[in-house]
Amino acid sequence: MTNIIEVEGVSKSYGGVVANHKVSMEVPVGRITGLIGPNGSGKTTLFNSVVGYQPIDEGSIKFKGQEISKMNVQQIARLGLLRTFQQTRIYGNMNGVQNMLISVSHRNAAFLDMFKPYPAEMKDKAEHLLEFVGLYQKRKLSAGDLSFGQQKLLEFAMALMNDPEVLLLDEPTAGINPTLINGLLDRLHRANTEFGITLFVIEHNMRVVMNLADNIYCLAHGELLAHGTPDEIQNDQRVIDAYLGAH
Amino acid sequence: MSFSQREKLTYAFLLGFGILGPILFPAYTFQIAVLWIMVLFAQTWDTMGGQMGYNSLGNIFFFGTGMYICAITQVGMFYDVGVYTAAHGADKAVFTDTQYYIGLGVGLLLAALGSAFLAAILGWTVFGLRGPYFAIGTLAIALSAGELIGAWEWVGGGGGIALPVYPGSGDGKSEFFYVLCFASAIATFAFLKWLYTTRFGLALNAIRDDEDKAEAMGVHTLRHKTVAWTISAFFLGITGGLFGNMTGFIEPLEVAFPTITFGIFMVAMALLGGKGTLWGPVLGAILFHIIKETTWTYFLGWQWIALGVIIIVNVVFFQQGIMGYLEDKYPHWFGVEVEESNAIDDQAKEATQ
């Protein structure tokens, strides 16, 4: 099993607050990896470090064997390592199709490509993916007018439009009603199996993460607490104390 | 009436007005030429401020630099600029017809390219700023450019430069520059209309809506921002070159870098018409110019108050501007069909099926 992301000994402090301390983890290619932990345990900090949002203090982050910890957000995104946001971010004044089209990967974009129109097959792909997440009927509405759950689905579809190799999802089901969660869960599985995208998911909903991921990392106080299969994690006393059931 | 019919009608009306206006009202030729300059101002400002969401208060910088580059080229091709400006027009420099037209042609070209080049250079520094900081930063560029040119004796300093005199009658001059202004406004409109249909247009809108998201999706944001400013600067450089020649005499503070008049007007016009729309800046510029000229003529002394009231009402009660309001209220006028959508709950269920 090869690892597409390798995080090794990564530390990150904000002033005196240590958000990540010597965290190491591996994301195997083609699988779904979960990341859990109590609030403030450093999950989003780690995501931010991986996608280049902030410089790390020490350690190494590799994507397909290439060191990326010194690269900026756009360069990393163009490598095919993409993230969605905890606070959903879409382009509010543009309609669904436009949101999709601008999300087409800029990986191989030459300078003059920006003055080209979008070919018909890209529009087809955009509509197909909107259909995939169930937003086809809403495709001509301003994305800002969609409900929160629909915006999450749109953001997910936009990420798929980009053809990423790895998708980092920061709480994909937060704030979504239970019916929609099942649908989203199904779409996430299909993104992994049908489109072959490796997923790395932060999730607070235990039912979701235990169903979704085939291996899970647990962070607490900025340090790696445990790693294992969903069963191992659910039965790990340290995880239970730190997070799952201790009061 | 469909969207395309309505659009054709608008084109016909504007073209008709542009061609017939100076024929029917020859006394207003200069005024209508200035109207097209206003349209150019609003359109080029909107590329940045409306489509991309970067409110530049310093776009007038490119108008001024274009004006000066054009003037210096026109003089410098045939005379020593330092000697010419030192004489303050006292030493009559004579330009033949050929010299005049060649100088003007080359001058306008260099004005466009020079302004675009400066935009590309400045872009690397100012695009680190966002929001109000970008607005103030660009304003500072325009203000300091005025002061720097004022202190530069070689180009005439605060005393300015008299431009080569048009070889022909006064009416001939008005008509000549009218045609150039009108053509520039049309060319700019056509170019921007095309530009907004390309990937570039969507990228500008994406930067406006959420630049961090655009970065996270791998969009070359700095590249797009810089090119957008370069395009604005290109057309503003031509505008400056034309306006300098129309007035015949240029100096840094009132004519070339008028931050508090033209520099603010271009923002006000785009906001009035509806920023971020294709037609908004055109409509805004026309309305603004008419209101401005009317108040200047009939309510002299109150003109600035009238303009202030318009800007305040616009900004406080009517932020989308006229076109923004219409697009919101009557989307079908603009060719946007909204399909009958089900209630949100049905959609949520659908999404899960």
Residue A216 Cα distances to A23, A212, A236, B185, angstroms: 14, 10, 12, 61
B18 neighbors B249 (Cβ within 8 angstroms):
no
User: Per-residue pLDDT tens for A42-61?
Assistant: 999 999 999 999 999 999 99
**Chain A residue with Cα closest to B210:** A91
A150 at the B interface (CB within 8 A)? yes
Strands A58-63 and A3-14: antiparallel
Query: Does B350 have pLDDT greater than 60?
Result: no
pLDDT of A238 = 86
**How sure is the predictor about B180, in pLDDT bands with cuts at 50, 70 and 90?**
very high
Question: Which residues in chain B have their CB less than 8 angstroms from residue A74's CB?
Answer: 215, 218-221
Tokens of A56: 């790390």
Query: Does A16 have pLDDT greater than 90?
Result: no
pLDDT of B102 = 94
pLDDT of A111 = 86
- B56–chain A nearest CA distance, Å: 21
Q: What is the mean pLDDT of residues B275-297?
A: 91
- Supply the mean pLDDT for chain A: 90
Q: Is residue A102 in some structural domain? A: no
Residue B23 Cα distances to A16, B256, B271, angstroms: 75, 29, 31
pLDDT of B343 = 42
Q: Give residue A31's Cα distance to chain centre.
A: 13
Cα–Cα nearest to A23, from A55, A52, A49: A49
Q: What's the one-letter identity of residue A121?
A: E
**How sure is the predictor about B90, in pLDDT bands with cuts at 50, 70 and 90?**
low
Greater confidence (A179 vs A163) lies with A163
> Is there a contact between A180 and B352 if contact means CB atoms under 8 Å apart?
yes
Residue boundaries of the structural domains of chain B:
3-264
pLDDT of B91 = 64
Query: Does B12 have pLDDT greater than 60?
Result: yes
Question: What residues make up the domain containing A70?
Answer: 3-90+165-244
Helix (H) or strand (E) holding A202: strand A198-202
Q: What is the mean pLDDT of residues B34-42?
A: 95
Of all residues in chain B, the percent with pLDDT exceeding 70 is 93
Question: Which residues in chain B have their CB less than 8 angstroms from residue A177's CB?
Answer: 348
Q: Is residue A108 in some structural domain? A: no
pLDDT of A192 = 93
Of all residues in chain A, the percent with pLDDT exceeding 90 is 61
Q: What is the mean pLDDT of residues A139-157?
A: 90
**How sure is the predictor about B338, in pLDDT bands with cuts at 50, 70 and 90?**
low
pLDDT of B346 = 45
Q: Which of residues 215-234 of B touch A (CB under 8 A)?
A: 215-221, 223-224, 227
Query: Does A131 have pLDDT greater than 90?
Result: yes
**How sure is the predictor about A1, in pLDDT bands with cuts at 50, 70 and 90?**
low
Evaluated on CA atoms B255, B258, B260, B262, the torsion sign reads: positive
B209 at the A interface (CB within 8 A)? yes
> Is there a contact between B216 and A77 if contact means CB atoms under 8 Å apart?
yes
Most confident of B159-173, B184-198, B331-345: B184-198
Q: Is residue A157 in some structural domain? A: no
Q: What is the mean pLDDT of residues B139-158?
A: 91
pLDDT of A244 = 65
CA dihedral B3, B5, B11, B16 (to 10 degrees): -150
Q: Is residue A53 in some structural domain? A: yes
Q: What is the mean pLDDT of residues A163-182?
A: 88
CB count within 10 Å of CB B288 equals: 27
* Count of A-B CB contacts under 8 Å: 126
Q: Is residue A134 in some structural domain? A: no
Q: Indicate the residue of B198, B221, B338 with minimum beta-carbon distance to A74.
A: B221
Query: Does B347 have pLDDT greater than 50?
Result: no
B203 at the A interface (CB within 8 A)? yes
- B139–chain A nearest CA distance, Å: 27
- B27–chain A nearest CA distance, Å: 42
Q: What is the mean pLDDT of residues A132-148?
A: 90
**How sure is the predictor about B200, in pLDDT bands with cuts at 50, 70 and 90?**
very high
Query: Does A137 have pLDDT greater than 50?
Result: yes
As a whole number of angstroms, the distance between CA B341 and CA A143 comes to: 14
Query: Does B351 have pLDDT greater than 70?
Result: no
> Is there a contact between B202 and A101 if contact means CB atoms under 8 Å apart?
yes
**Number of domains present in the structure of chain A:** 1
- A125–chain B nearest CA distance, Å: 16
User: Per-residue pLDDT tens for B103-132?
Assistant: 999 999 999 999 999 999 999 889 989 889
Q: What is the mean pLDDT of residues A14-27?
A: 91
φ/ψ of A200, rounded to 5, equals: -130, 115
Question: Which residues in chain A have their CB less than 8 angstroms from residue B344's CB?
Answer: 147, 150
User: Per-residue pLDDT tens for A78-116?
Assistant: 999 999 888 889 999 999 999 999 999 888 888 888 898
| Least reliable range by pLDDT among A69-83, B9-23, B74-88 | B74-88
> Is there a contact between B353 and A183 if contact means CB atoms under 8 Å apart?
yes
pLDDT of B86 = 79
pLDDT of A86 = 82
Greater confidence (B334 vs B162) lies with B162
| Least reliable range by pLDDT among B70-74, B222-226, B257-261 | B257-261
B181 neighbors B36 (Cβ within 8 angstroms):
yes
Question: Which residues in chain A have their CB less than 8 angstroms from residue B198's CB?
Answer: 114-117
pLDDT of B340 = 52
Q: What is the mean pLDDT of residues A38-45?
A: 89
**Chain A residue with Cα closest to B337:** A140
> Is there a contact between B352 and A179 if contact means CB atoms under 8 Å apart?
yes
Q: Which of residues 18-57 of A touch B (CB under 8 A)?
A: 51
pLDDT of B119 = 96
> Is there a contact between B347 and A137 if contact means CB atoms under 8 Å apart?
yes
Q: What is the mean pLDDT of residues B81-102?
A: 80
- Tell me the CATH number at A180: 3.40.50.300
Most confident of A232-236, B87-91, B269-273: B269-273
pLDDT of B339 = 57
**How sure is the predictor about B337, in pLDDT bands with cuts at 50, 70 and 90?**
low
Greater confidence (B331 vs B257) lies with B257
Count of alpha carbons within 13 angstroms of residue B62, beta-carbon side? 34
